[in-house]
Amino acid sequence: MKKYFYAFFLLSIFSLNLLSANNGGDDNGKDRQQEYQLRISKTSEKIKLDGKLDEAIWQNTTAVSDFWYSFPIDNEKAELKTKVKVTYDDNFLYVAAEMHDPNGTIIQTLKRDVDFWSGDNIVIVLDPVNQKSNGFMFGVNPYGVQMEGLLTGNTGSRGSRPGNGAMNARWDNKWYSKTSSTHDSWTAEVAIPFKSLKYDATKTTWGINFIRTEGSDNSFHVWSQVPLQFRSVDLNYTGALIWDKAPKKTKGNVAVIPYISGSRFKDFEEGTPTDNSLNVGVDAKIAVTSSLNLDVTINPDFSNVEVDEQVTNLTRFNIRLPEKRLFFLENTDIFEDFGNSPARPFFSRRIGIDEDGNAQPILYGLRLTGNATKRLRVGLLNMHTKETDESTGQNYTAAAFHQQVFGRSIIKGFVTNRQAYQDSEFSSTDYGRNAGLEFNYLSTNNKWQSWAGYNHSFKEGITDKNYYFKGGVRYRDRNWAGLINYYEVQDQYYADLGFLARLNHYDAVQDTTHRIGFGSFFSDLNYTLYPKKRGNLVSQQFSMFNWWVTKANDGDFLERTNSLSYRLNFVGRSSFSARIANSAIALQFPFSFTGDEPPTAQKYTTTDVRVEYRSDSRNVFTYEAQIRYGGFYSGTRKGVELEGNYRVQPWGNFGLKFAYNDLQFGGPYGATQLFSVSPKIEISFSNNLFWTTFIQYNTQAENFNINSRLQWRFSPMSDIYLVYVDNYTVLDNSIMGSLLESDNRALILKASYWY
């Protein structure tokens, strides 16, 4: 089976190269940068950032205009006028934008990065290396709220999940903007420090695009035309920013971010005395070159990071929660874009956070990332956690490279090492290492993508069945999208710095876990139909999904799902979808969701129906509703998920999430009702002062949690946080009659300053 798979994959790669060679550039058969060019000249005039655009340079600089729609259509010029101008001096890239908007403005919140694409804004996309492999986006809305993020060359098709780290809006950096508004227009004036960018100081041509989101009809407008099926930020469709002279390499590009925090913590469960603590530490960003950055952290403190959102887990396996710590976010794809979503050899949350989500003290961290050359991206990371009475110290090392070849394709490799450290010595037996090599092919017209990879794990005493491999092909055009993917994880493959789902099977009778290697074959086929003219209906999509899992060694059946779905998308981003799925599970060991006698290990075949509706995001009250019903192992599952939000523009958001699952297994296997209720209140007193309170009640996790956080951004990228955390244990499984017992409580005050 494996040799046939490899033969098929190699034939596919050969065919894709031929198809791409015959198909030429993008969907229109020509390079965008030949058609869309913007020349930039240096200014000696001092620009006052006030959003008024009254400097002489803005009066004498040629603007780009005549934007295209990129959504919900892509074959017409946008009706509302947008003008953008650029200039620069020794320290900043300046952008001035004028947006005609007689319909009034819509925003979701005054909070940085949050729900940014669901309202009016202007976004600058930059590809300083101009290799279409990685870049930046900087956006601002009419109220001056900022959004910034990192982009890779694989942002994917519209409506699909982007590649790992492909659109990283959690990345933050220091830049400046001001806006002003009239009754029928608004303007934005932006200054992006060269110190915040990674660029080749010899390049005189950068990739650039401008994206405007119009909230009144939820349309996207772009300067350099982007096909409808791709996201507007796609780096393959940038125009050319042509410099009169390449911007100089920045000097003295070092940012130092010291912090101090104090906390008061009480553990009621353990009955220990109240703990008062004071911590100090520092982060630093050091530009080794104009395109290579070194991040340093000493005694980091992540107490200000937003709390994880609890979810009801009705799988038999662990789930992956997102990384939110700023230190790990820049260029995260260099380390993490290996493997597949259920099997990642590197996942930064394994550093400094245990399996229960508790923070482990980190002594230091070093992280070197960026472009070593215009076509080579590299990453090197080393971190060390502190030895405690409960655990040994750990040293974590990761190194990775991404070498661009054949246009937009990439050869990439990595090595990782986790090694225990105790009594001032590294352990010679307690370690976990991984190494791998992958190839990602991406055609110049963005239609074809394929991949192959192999990685190996190394542990003391394990010499067999300790590898992982993958391969797949994807095609996408305006109407059709299809994917075939296969990956295989062997029994003794470990990833101490990574994330592995599905490998460990829990036996509820023996109270033990068994490792079962598996092969996963996945395919889907989508047909999307777009109206020829603008109207209330944006698109309708028909999808077919197939997934098959077998044991890695003998090919025995483990699990499958076959599904059909239909989706309608409307103006305002409201949508309706329906899905029917037939599944089969060969349960290997008894597993219980109720605490009663677990269902026996046998094959279960079920059918499940799900219907979902999402309301118009332009409304002040928005909601989502999902209802599902079907078989579940030996019984049935009835589920309802509701999410609502009331917005008081621009200062308030009041939201509530509710999930209910009724599991009925019949006979001795019992039944259970699982609830999850999560109110969230966000109040923005200004662009720089926010109060967020998040309450979570989850009967599956037996947890009631309150997290209330006040944030004052007193200077760019400099903050004071006051955080209150309260955790309780839920003593029974009833939403109406649950009793709570206090677990722990904390009050934290933290201040950091970006110098």
Q: Retrieve residue 625's tokens.
A: 């509703």
Q: What pLDDT is recorded for position 594?
A: 85
Helices (H), 511-566: none
Using one digit for the tens of pLDDT, what is the confidence trace for 693-728?
Answer: 999 999 888 889 999 999 999 998 899 999 999 999
Query: How distant is the alpha carbon of residue 644 from its chain centre?
Result: 22
Q: Retrieve residue 401's tokens.
A: 């490279």
Q: What pLDDT is recorded for position 168?
A: 80
User: CA-to-CA distance for 687 and 709, rounded, in angstroms?
Assistant: 16
Q: What pLDDT is recorded for position 163?
A: 64
DSSP class of 230: B
Q: Retrieve residue 403's tokens.
A: 């070498």
Q: Retrieve residue 105's tokens.
A: 């403005």
Helices H, strands E: what count in the chain?
Answer: 4, 41
Using one digit for the tens of pLDDT, what is the confidence trace for 648-667?
Answer: 999 999 999 999 999 999 88
Domains and CATH numbers, the chain: 31-243 (2.60.40.1190)
* Residues 79, 100 contacting (CB under 8 angstroms): no
The pLDDT mean for the chain works out to 89
Which is more confidently placed, 34 or 165?
A: 34
pLDDT at 5 exceeding the cut of 80: no
User: CA-to-CA distance for 748 and 255, rounded, in angstroms?
Assistant: 25
Phi and psi at residue 714, to the nearest 5°: -80, -15
pLDDT at 458 exceeding the cut of 90: yes
CA distances from 120 to 104, 140, 185, 534 (A): 9, 9, 11, 19
* Residues 253, 287 contacting (CB under 8 angstroms): yes
pLDDT at 604 exceeding the cut of 60: yes
Q: What pLDDT is recorded for position 272?
A: 86
pLDDT at 371 exceeding the cut of 80: yes
User: CA-to-CA distance for 117 and 181, rounded, in angstroms?
Assistant: 19
- Determine which helix (DSSP H) or strand (DSSP E) holds 35, and give its type and residue range: helix 32-35
| pLDDT tier at 503, thresholds 50, 70, 90 | very high
DSSP class of 462: B
Q: Retrieve residue 664's tokens.
A: 């009925």
Residues 6+ apart with CB under 8 A from 380: 366, 367, 368, 369, 398, 399
Q: What pLDDT is recorded for position 210?
A: 98
What count of other Cβ atoms lies within 10 Å of the Cβ of residue 742? 14
- Determine which helix (DSSP H) or strand (DSSP E) holds 15, and give its type and residue range: helix 2-23
Q: Retrieve residue 666's tokens.
A: 């019949």
pLDDT at 738 exceeding the cut of 70: no
pLDDT at 1 exceeding the cut of 50: no
User: CA-to-CA distance for 97 and 190, rounded, in angstroms?
Assistant: 9
| pLDDT tier at 21, thresholds 50, 70, 90 | very low
CA distances from 599 to 130, 486, 673, 675 (A): 57, 30, 17, 22
* Residues 526, 546 contacting (CB under 8 angstroms): no
| pLDDT tier at 10, thresholds 50, 70, 90 | very low
CA-nearest of 221, 232, 241 to 155 is 232
* Residues 377, 391 contacting (CB under 8 angstroms): no
Give me the amino acid identity at 699: T
Using one digit for the tens of pLDDT, what is the confidence trace for 127-160?
Answer: 998 988 889 999 999 999 999 998 988 887 887 7
Sort strands 68-71 and 167-168 into parallel, antiparallel or unpaired.
unpaired
Residues 6+ apart with CB under 8 A from 3: none
Mean pLDDT (whole number) for 673-686? 94
